[in-house]
Structure 1
Amino acid sequence: MSASVRGGGRRFGGLRALGFGARLALTGGRDGAVRTALMAVGVGLGVAVLLLAASVPTARHHRDERIHHRIDTNLDDRVIKPSAGTVLVSDIDTVFRDKEIRGRMVQPEGSVAPLPPGVQRYPRPGEMVVSPALRKLLAAPGSELLRERLAHPIAGEVGDRGLLGPGEYVFYLGGDHMVDGVAGTRRLDHFGKVYPKKPLSPDLALLGIAGIVVLLVPVGVFIAAAVRFGGEHRDRRLAALRLVGADRRMTAGIAAGEAVLSTAIGIVLGAILFMAGRQFIGLADVQGLSVFPEDLTPQPLLAVLTVVAVLTLSLVVTRLAMNKVAVEPLGVVRRSGGATRRLWWRIAVPLLGLVLLRTSVRNASDLHDTAGVVLVVAGMLALLVGVTTVLPWAVERLTGLCGGFGPLSWQLAVRRLQLSGEAATRTVNGIAVAVAGAVALQTLFTGIAQTPADSTPRAAHSASAPRTHVGVARLDDRKGDVERYVPVFAATSGVQQAVGFGELSVSTPDGGFPQTVRIADCAQLRLLASLPGCSAGDAFLVAPPGTGGAHDMTTWKAGTTLRIGADGPRWTTPPITATARATSADPQGVFPERMLLATPEAAGPTAIAHAVSTVGVTYTDTDRDVQDRIRTTAARLDPSFTVGFPGQPQGDPALGGIKRALLAGVTVVLLLIAASMLLGALEQLRDRARVLAVLVAFGTRRRTLGGSVLWQTVLPVALGLLVAGLVGTALGGTLLGLVGKPAAYDWSTLLAIAGLGAATAVVVTLLTLPTLWRSTRPEGLRHE
């Protein structure tokens, strides 16, 4: 019976200890209140970011729904006949200074024609409805070229249902005399289509997994550091409790109770910050990604897991911290104070991560299996956590080697790091892990986006040597007015030369390899190729420069019957006059196949009627707006013109979407880490306020103390960035090896990431200087 009572007493004593620790967090004097506030703010910021991450599945689901609802393509391959319930639609997308603008020309064919999502009524011919973001962009200073391009009266705005985000640029232009099948026009009887999702490619699946780990690990490191704010004050308070009879079990319970209450307050504060920030999320556009406030709704299960994970992390960190401290009645003895940190197990953590990554994926399909994903995540966690294990040892070794010489500010900083290196590295761990993850992501991006033909990074071109580029404008209007378009393009500022021709694709009736025919008069053909001579009725076989006919699959022979397009009329190849070599003005690009250049007399009326009006323009890159001027010229001639620039690399839309999302997440995490460093620096200054005041009283200059504070931040950050760079590049190269990609590094971007981390540390230090000056006033000598 007595044993049971004693056991119950122990259990009750544990609960009392937890309650007493919670009361100390609220009523433990000014120091206790400040420590509780710091912990709550730190945990609250971390919880707000975790709730943001828990909202990603909901936001993605809503985004997918909006994409499905506004699909304006007939995916059923059925014939839609004109009626009062049909509408004609054609794509008129454009780009303005790297901002993609989604445009559609619409013409309802009856009074009950379906409306696109977010559109209240169809605009009249020549009018347009625009998204709120596009309206602002049109009204913004410096958008003259865009206003000239979209010089149509605005008849309304596109609602949220028709937008992927509040920052998306969308417009619908009212059309007239549109014809189904001409200029990309198609007939629809409804908008929207739901189709099954395709699994991501192994490259993109790995990129998504890496992004989630990289974004969440720094948040966990940040929360763990926030739980330890004011640790020295807590340890001294627990030592005083030992004087009045508390044992070690009770002191551990008191510390846990204090941590739990502070964490609970932080969780509530984080939820409030998240709900308040969500109301303004529509105003933010991070890396081209924007979301509606209602999209940011955490999934209930993920929200519960967030609360449980944060509370568990708080208790675990507090328990581990108590293991390193022996709270005795006469003071606080730090067990690790005189012991040298061992390196072997610290190195073993990242090495274990490398081994797990090397053995996790045997082929790319393993990335879609649960076991493969778990191993990849475990390996990445071990590597990133390895940064936090190696950094304290590196700081200890550096301060041991650099102490005893140098200016006074340096010696003060080194001595302080020797005494409390753990507190210094605790605030730097977050930025080191964030930079390591960002470096790994950038390396992964570079390797995935790199094509086999571009296995080495391109050398930077001199700004003093402008390069010549070629652009192509196409209009499938079946009018053959290309002669009217050429002078207008040639008069565009920045364009050196414009050449016009009609272009069509032909193939054998059995669906053979598509071949290109270009139709123009002799003056224009001479701009496309070096011709020995030209007269009406001539036709020339031309190969692009520098190809030598390699990989050519075309078969040109006079009198051969070919088919125009996929299901067009038959056409007979005219007699070939001669062969020639294409000039640099030819917009064929890098395609090696030969093409046929024909005069209108040789091509015949059938080919002319089905040819796409094409204008090739040659320009230099000395003017950053020259491409926008070319697009504006094309849109003023006809909104259905499509403009492309073959010399520029075309990115993968899925890769671009994931990249924008991850870069937005990295930006948020870096802001969080900056807040973490600021809170940690302020907490350390508060803890050393009396010592700093004593130093100033004995004649130490404030400039020296400011320098010492800067060195205390710079040294751990510099080491952290070095370790982060090594771990990040190793992680990125290893991840590329999982999908069979060679390691590729964009060193300029990696240095920029490291520079951003260093700049964050310097800015945080500058923000702490006002607190430092206040701490060194004579009032700081008072002590109770």
Structure 2
Amino acid sequence: MTAKVPGGGRRFGGLRALCFGARLALTGGRDGTIRTALTAVGVGLGVAMLLLAASVPTARHHRDERIHHRIDINLDDRVIKPSADTVLISDIDTVFRGKEIRGRMVQPEGSGAPLPPGVLHYPRPGEMVVSPALRKLLAAPGSELLRERLAHPITGEVGDPGLLGPGEYVFYLGGEHMVDGVAGARRLDHFGKAYPRKPLPPELALLGIAGIVVLLAPVGVFIAAAVRFGGEQRDRRLAALRLVGADRGMTAGIAAGEAVLSTLVGIALGAILFIAGRQFIGLADIQGLSVFTEDLTPEPLLAALTVVAVLALSLVVTRLAMNKVAVEPLGVVRRSGGTTRRLWWRIAMPLLGLVLLRTSVRNASDLHNAGGVALVVAGMLALLVGVTAVLPWAVEHLTGLSGGFGPLSWQLAVRRVQLSGEAATRSVNGIAVAVAGAVALQTLFTGIAQSPPAPPPRMTHVSSAPRTHVGVARLDDGMGEAERYAAVFAATPGVQQAIGFGELSVSTPGDGFPQTVRIADCAQLRLLASLPACSDGDAFLVVPPGTGGADDMTTWKAGTPLRIGAGGPRWTTPRITATAHATSADPQGDFPERMLLTTPRAAGPTAIAHAASTVGLTYTASGEDVQDRIRTAAARLAPSFSVNFPGQPQGDPALDGIKRALLAGVTAVLLLIAASMLLGALEQLRDRTRVLAVLVAFGTRRRTLVGSVLWQTALPLALGLLVAGLVGTTLGRVLLGLVGKRAVYDWSTLLAIGGLGAAAAVVVTLLTLPTLWRSTRPEGLRHE
């Protein structure tokens, strides 16, 4: 069918309808301009986020290259002889208030020594070069302990090639008198090593897949909602076009033209936002993750797919929206039916997702195949998108049951939700999908990171005392000065006790089981075990309490030849004076095997020279910055002193890296969803300006209208969070089942995620109140 265009007699085809709709989006008056601007801003924010996601492969590739270029370990197992082209290096990493600091002590052995990436020259002994982020941290207020720990003159900065991100803390300290193989020192003739990427374990591969879906699904929901901004006004305008002769196909084409133009403007705006934000990305540090500007370069194929996908999504959403209304010549907008929403197909979508997930992975290798990954992604999307399908049905039925009673503000809110249920749930869909995904991710994190249950603590172990913890400081110097080091640690505020001893590992030649030997004077040994009479020259076999010896694999016998370390000199077991039991004062008293405690004379000079100076610490948790004070005391004694706190949970570096990246993405998505909710709320208020002004003119109190706006947000939001929690926990449980893990729910964190989503919605609603107040003025009664 053809029709006359307003003001012209030419035939009006499909392409002309698209062009006419695009022209209306630009020349439709003030309302049309505002509607186009809102849609473009919404789509632009979503496109900027998608371009950020398209940059992840590039950022990961650059990060991997930097990791490979600065590897400072001899992975070839070859002997490197000292020369003018070698350097000695040792690890002196530290931690300050939860921030990990990468440190290296370096001593070039000649003018041709290779330089670490990002370092222009080696610092002289006692001097250091630091990363820009570490320089700022050292100068920041409250970093006195770190400045005391790294009290070395700064003579330069580490450049970008030597950093994984602009926010990484790195320093190189000039050393002297370093010896290869002593105190962790090793010799290198080059930095960097390229090696093929190993496939991620199934758990981490699944976590990465889930993270990508969880981060991108809310963005798609947000863009779909943004395309619908101003839908009611558009429908009324299309009804006017029907009055002058346009048919249903033409109105659909015109609506598509408006959507395409607004989407194209949004894509351009998104590219501009991405390019502008890219310049400042180096200043951002989200969840400990930072990237350089050049790392954020979208993959060309992914960028093209983003443009095509956003355009296709806008057309599909517009077409589906047109099917839900009947635009008639004599009606502004008449709903195309008053039938109740059907539940069966809304439930079918998440059920289909469950079926796909159950059948997607039959063994761990399926997570590295394209087919298995596609099924997992499809199943997750079906479950998450199912939230947006179930939510309108739940809102409709709840409002149908709760209408007709309650305060006036509640009744106004319920009536508004009944009249425009799509608009009411559209603004909440994004937050519901984001919360469902975050709950699933948290459940997945908790299940993967769960370690096997620890054995029950022994009653005699010192760490069972309330608010008391343990630590171990170690220096592999062969100096035999553990007692002197212990006296320094004992004077540190917050430290209750410090026990110094030398510690080494011995084994029978061949494939013998490693056994532990501790060397100290009688005064220190009495703190480790209940000893009888002790004098220099004695040795004691110590049995840990409560073990029963069932798992003991040690074979202590006087005169037995043993080897120190993996390839050290031989050592003979001394005469054992007596057998004793470990005491609760031993910070490391949880050894499952018997160990040998010896005095210096019984151990001999060979064992003393190869023993690591060790200090066992007990400290109170109530002391402020106790761990940092201990680390500072260790660094002041020797930069190579390592400090560990066995009571602290040790994470998987790969898991921690993925977790930081996903938490940074979730944070960005939540900010995007908050912006989308604000835009949607402002669009709805702008569309209802005349209605609000009429209500106030007839005597409705503004306080009642404010309450109704809050109820309109709270009702769909409460239902959305309930559905999101159910879908999220179910999704997390099913994903853990794919890798054979048991679901363990961290309810406090899950409630916090839901509370964060609710708080974001409430804050956004409160931000719309000034606009609501202006909409109720008498000027809102005017109409053109």
Bin for the TM-score computed over the shorter chain: over 0.9
Give, in whole Å, the separation in 1 of the partners of 2:551 and 2:648: 22
CA contact (8 A) 1:506 1:562 kept: yes
Q: Report the equivalent of 1:255.
A: 255
SS class of match (2:498): strand
Cα 1:646–1:339 change in 2 (3 A) is same
CA contact (8 A) 1:483 1:500 kept: yes
Q: Report the equivalent of 1:328.
A: 328
Matches within 5 A, 1:95-174: 95-174=95-174
Cα 1:454–1:439 change in 2 (3 A) is farther
Give, in whole Å, the separation in 2 of the partners of 1:508 and 1:428: 67
Q: Which amino acid in structure 1 is aligned with residue 667 of structure 2?
A: T
Q: Which amino acid in structure 1 is aligned with residue 482 of structure 2?
A: V
CA contact (8 A) 1:503 1:518 kept: yes
RMSD: 1.7
Q: Report the equivalent of 1:359.
A: 359
SS class of match (1:562): strand
SS class of match (1:643): strand
Give, in whole Å, the separation in 1 of the partners of 2:454 and 2:506: 31
Cα 1:740–1:416 change in 2 (3 A) is same
CA contact (8 A) 1:93 1:104 kept: yes
The farther-off stretch of 596-605 and 178-187 is 596-605
CA contact (8 A) 2:326 2:336 kept: no
Q: Which amino acid in structure 2 is aligned with residue 678 of structure 1?
A: L
Q: Which amino acid in structure 2 is aligned with residue 132 of structure 1?
A: P
Unaligned runs of 5+ in 2: 3-8, 457-463
Q: Which amino acid in structure 2 is aligned with residue 355 of structure 1?
A: V
Q: Report the equivalent of 2:668.
A: 668
Give, in whole Å, the separation in 2 of the partners of 1:295 and 1:421: 43
Matches within 5 A, 1:558-597: 558-588=558-588, 590-597=590-597
SS class of match (1:301): helix
Does residue 554 (structure 1) correspond to residue 551 (structure 2)? The answer is no
SS class of match (2:13): helix
Q: CA deviation at 1:633?
A: 0.3
Give, in whole Å, the separation in 2 of the partners of 1:405 and 1:12: 51
Q: Could you state the TM-score of these two structures normalised by the residue count of structure 1?
A: 0.97
Question: Structure 1, residues 527-573: CA drift from partner, whole Å, max 9, x if none?
Answer: 11122332222211123333333422221111110000111111111
Q: Which amino acid in structure 2 is aligned with residue 153 of structure 1?
A: P
Matches within 5 A, 1:304-315: 304-315=304-315
Q: CA deviation at 1:581?
A: 1.9
Q: Report the equivalent of 2:223.
A: 223
Matches within 5 A, 1:382-397: 382-397=382-397
Q: Which amino acid in structure 2 is aligned with residue 282 of structure 1?
A: G
Q: Which amino acid in structure 1 is aligned with residue 560 of structure 2?
A: T
Question: Structure 1, residues 129-149: CA drift from partner, whole Å, max 9, x if none?
Answer: 000000010111111110100
Give, in whole Å, the separation in 2 of the partners of 1:604 and 1:165: 49
Does residue 738 (structure 1) correspond to residue 738 (structure 2)? The answer is yes
CA contact (8 A) 1:133 1:168 kept: yes
The farther-off stretch of 486-495 and 549-558 is 549-558
Q: Report the equivalent of 2:763.
A: 763
Cα 1:644–1:373 change in 2 (3 A) is same
Q: Report the equivalent of 1:459.
A: none
Give, in whole Å, the separation in 1 of the partners of 2:17 and 2:730: 46
Question: Structure 1, residues 310-355: CA drift from partner, whole Å, max 9, x if none?
Answer: 0000000001111111110011444455211111111111111111
Q: Which amino acid in structure 2 is aligned with residue 763 of structure 1?
A: V
Matches within 5 A, 1:669-688: 669-688=669-688
SS class of match (1:103): strand
SS class of match (1:453): coil
Question: Structure 1, residues 613-671: CA drift from partner, whole Å, max 9, x if none?
Answer: 00111111112410111000000000000000111111000000000000000000000
Q: Report the equivalent of 2:287.
A: 287
Give, in whole Å, the separation in 2 of the partners of 1:546 and 1:318: 71
Q: Report the equivalent of 1:434.
A: 434
Does residue 401 (structure 1) correspond to residue 386 (structure 2)? The answer is no
Cα 1:455–1:528 change in 2 (3 A) is closer
Q: Which amino acid in structure 2 is aligned with residue 239 of structure 1?
A: A
SS class of match (2:587): coil
Q: Which amino acid in structure 1 is aligned with residue 359 of structure 2?
A: T
CA contact (8 A) 1:587 1:646 kept: no
Q: Report the equivalent of 2:618.
A: 618
- Aligned-pair identity (%): 88
Q: Report the equivalent of 2:51.
A: 51
Matches within 5 A, 1:338-737: 338-453=338-453, 466-588=466-588, 590-737=590-737
Give, in whole Å, the separation in 1 of the partners of 2:591 and 2:13: 81
Give, in whole Å, the separation in 2 of the partners of 1:544 and 1:218: 55
Question: Structure 1, residues 132-184: CA drift from partner, whole Å, max 9, x if none?
Answer: 00001011111111010000011111000100000000000000110011000
Q: Report the equivalent of 1:67.
A: 67
CA contact (8 A) 2:438 2:753 kept: yes
Cα 1:590–1:689 change in 2 (3 A) is farther
CA contact (8 A) 1:544 1:588 kept: no
Give, in whole Å, the separation in 1 of the partners of 2:126 and 2:231: 69
CA contact (8 A) 2:509 2:562 kept: yes
Q: Report the equivalent of 1:460.
A: none
CA contact (8 A) 2:165 2:290 kept: yes
Q: Report the equivalent of 2:212.
A: 212
Q: Which amino acid in structure 2 is aligned with residue 31 of structure 1?
A: D
Q: Report the equivalent of 1:86.
A: 86
SS class of match (2:436): helix
CA contact (8 A) 1:383 1:727 kept: yes
Q: Which amino acid in structure 1 is aligned with residue 438 of structure 2?
A: A
Q: Report the equivalent of 2:178.
A: 178
CA contact (8 A) 1:326 1:332 kept: no
Cα 1:98–1:550 change in 2 (3 A) is farther
Give, in whole Å, the separation in 1 of the partners of 2:775 and 2:555: 85
CA contact (8 A) 2:588 2:616 kept: no
Q: CA deviation at 1:467?
A: 2.1
CA contact (8 A) 1:545 1:584 kept: no
Question: Structure 1, residues 364-412: CA drift from partner, whole Å, max 9, x if none?
Answer: 1211111111111111011001100010011111111111111111111
Q: CA deviation at 1:213?
A: 0.4
Q: Report the equivalent of 1:461.
A: none
Equivalent residue pairs, number: 771
Question: Structure 1, residues 692-748: CA drift from partner, whole Å, max 9, x if none?
Answer: 011111111111111110110111111101000000000000100100001111111
CA contact (8 A) 1:225 1:427 kept: yes
Cα 1:85–1:10 change in 2 (3 A) is farther
Question: Structure 1, residues 486-509: CA drift from partner, whole Å, max 9, x if none?
Answer: 110000000000000000000111
Q: Could you state the TM-score of these two structures normalised by the residue count of structure 2?
A: 0.97
Q: CA deviation at 1:12?
A: 6.5
Give, in whole Å, the separation in 1 of the partners of 2:10 and 2:345: 36
SS class of match (1:631): helix
Cα 1:337–1:150 change in 2 (3 A) is farther
SS class of match (1:49): helix
Q: CA deviation at 1:10?
A: 12
Give, in whole Å, the separation in 1 of the partners of 2:520 and 2:433: 61
CA contact (8 A) 1:585 1:617 kept: no
Q: Report the equivalent of 2:459.
A: none
SS class of match (2:305): helix
SS class of match (2:597): strand
Cα 1:455–1:686 change in 2 (3 A) is farther
Q: CA deviation at 1:454?
A: 5.5
CA contact (8 A) 2:431 2:670 kept: yes
The farther-off stretch of 266-275 and 350-359 is 350-359
Q: Which amino acid in structure 1 is aligned with residue 603 of structure 2?
A: A
CA contact (8 A) 1:202 1:365 kept: yes
SS class of match (1:452): coil
